[in-house]
Amino acid sequence: MLYQKILNTEHKKLAVLIDPDKQKGTDLPIIVKNAEKNGADFLLIGGSLMFSDIHSAINTIKHHTDLPVILFPGSVLQLSEKADGILLLSLISGRNPEFLIGNQVIAAPLLKRSKIEVISTGYILVDGGNQTSVEYMSNTKPIPYEKPEIAVATAIAGELIGHKLIYLEAGSGAKNHVSTEMIQQVKKNIEIPLIVGGGIKTLKSVEDVCDAGADIIVVGTAFEKNIDLIKEFSEKIHSY
Ligand code: 1GP
Kindly list the domain boundaries of the chain, sorted by start residue. Answer: 2-238
Q: How far does the centroid of ligand 1 lie from the alpha carbon of residue 89, in Å? A: 15
**Residue of 93, 221, 229, 233 best suited for mutating to test ligand 1, as the one with most atoms within 8 Å of CB:** 221
Q: Quick check: 67 and 36 in contact, CB under 8 A?
A: yes
Average pLDDT over residues 182-198: 98
The share of the chain scoring above pLDDT 90, in percent, equals 95
**What confidence score (pLDDT) does residue 8 get?**
80
108 pLDDT higher than 90: yes
Q: What is the pLDDT of residues 147-181, one digit of tens each?
A: 999 999 999 999 999 999 999 999 999 999 999 99
The rounded Å distance from CA 213 to ligand 1 centre is 18
- Round to whole Å and give the CA distance between 93 and 91: 6
Task: Provide the pLDDT for residue 50.
Answer: 97
pLDDT at res. 49: 95
pLDDT tens, position by position, 195-240: 999 999 999 999 999 999 999 999 999 999 999 999 999 999 999 9
Q: Does residue 221 line the site of ligand 1, with CB under 6 A?
A: yes
Q: Band of the pLDDT at 128, cuts 50, 70, 90?
A: very high
**Per-residue pLDDT at 9 exceeds 80:** no
Pick the CATH number of 2-238 from 3.40.50.150, 3.30.1490.20, 3.20.20.390, 3.40.640.10: 3.20.20.390
Instruction: List the one residue out of 92, 95, 206 whose CA is nearest residue 153.
Output: 92
User: What pLDDT is recorded for position 168?
Assistant: 98
Residues of the chain with pLDDT > 70, as a percent, come to 100
Å from CA of 99 to ligand 1 middle: 18
Closest to 195 (Cα-Cα) out of 141, 122, 140: 122
The pLDDT confidence band at residue 130, using thresholds 50, 70 and 90, is: very high
Burial code of 124-144, b = ≥16 C-beta within 10 A, e = fewer? bbbbbeeebebbeebebebbe
For ligand 1, whether the C-beta of 198 sits within 6 Å is yes
What confidence score (pLDDT) does residue 7 get? 74
Atom of ligand 1 nearest to the CA of 200: 9
Is pLDDT of 27 > 90?
yes
**How confident is the model at residue 12, as a pLDDT?**
97
| Reduced 3-state DSSP string for the chain | CHHHHHCCCCCCEEEEEECCCCCCCCHHHHHHHHHHHCCCCEEEECCCCCCCCHHHHHHHHHHHCCCCEEECCCCHHHCCCCCCEEEEEEECCCCCHHHHHHHHHHHHHHHHHCCCEEEEEEEEEECCCCCCHHHHHHCCCCECCCCHHHHHHHHHHHHHHCCCEEEEECCCCCCCCCCHHHHHHHHHHCCCCEEEECCCCCHHHHHHHHHHCCCEEEECHHHHHCCCHHHHHHHHHHCC
Mutational pocket test of ligand 1: of 31, 172, 202, 237, the residue with most ligand atoms within 8 Å of the beta carbon:
172
